[in-house]
Amino acid sequence: MVGYFLLQVADEHAAKPGGMLTPNGGLMIWTLLIFIVLMAILTRYAFRPITAAVERREQALEAALMQATRDREEAAARLAEQRALVEQAHGEAARVVAEARAAAERVRTDLMTQAHADQQQLLQRAREEIDGERRRAIADLRREAVDLAILGAGKVIERNLDDTANRALVEKFLSEIPTSPAREGAGV
């Protein structure tokens, strides 16, 4: 209805000479009155809710920005913490590897030492066994020599000496003979 009224007023002014550019007091008052009413209605029902919504949106954006800043700082702190943990893990891994290498080297050295000791012990036993066998062989050879000497002497002399006395005499003779390494190697 107000719109219809304004159209009528506009048509009346358009019909007059000078048109719409000539000032008309009644039209100005009505335009001003409609502007004030419209402004009051918009202020009450549109501007306040729009302003409140804009302020809420602005506060929400500020809160989101602050939260994003806090999240970024927290993420940076966690990243630094994770990097420190990774560095610590690398250091720990390097330490474990170094300890394992040192332990392996100790085990290798111990095994080499033990093997050398076992080898020396085995050589010593072999030498002792060889020396014992050589002594037994020499003793057996001497006994054989005594037996052969007694048999040979008994046949040459053809005397009636008893076997024990002959054996003692020959053993005494053989024990007085010095044993040299050259003679022992020659099989005497």
Q: For residue range 78-103, what is the model confidence (pLDDT) as tens digits?
A: 999 999 999 999 999 999 999 999 99
Better-predicted residue by pLDDT, 59 or 171: 59
pLDDT computed for residue 17 by the predictor: 57
Average pLDDT of the chain?
83
Helix, strand counts (H, E) of the chain: 5, 0
Amino acid in position 119: Q
Please write the tens of the pLDDT for every residue from 136-156.
988 888 888 887 777 776 666
What's the predicted TM-score (pTM) here?
0.38
CB atoms within 10 A of CB 150: 18
| Band of pLDDT at residue 176, cut at 50, 70 and 90 | confident
pLDDT computed for residue 167 by the predictor: 77
How many angstroms separate the CA atoms of 2 and 8, rounded? 10
Asked whether residue 188 carries a pLDDT value surpassing 60, the answer given is no
DSSP for 129-164? HHHHHHHHHHHHHHHHHHHHHHHHHHHHH-----HH
What percent of the chain has pLDDT above 70?
A: 79
User: How many residues does this entry show for the chain?
Assistant: 188
H or E segment and range at residue 12: helix 2-15
CB 13 within 8 A of CB 19: yes
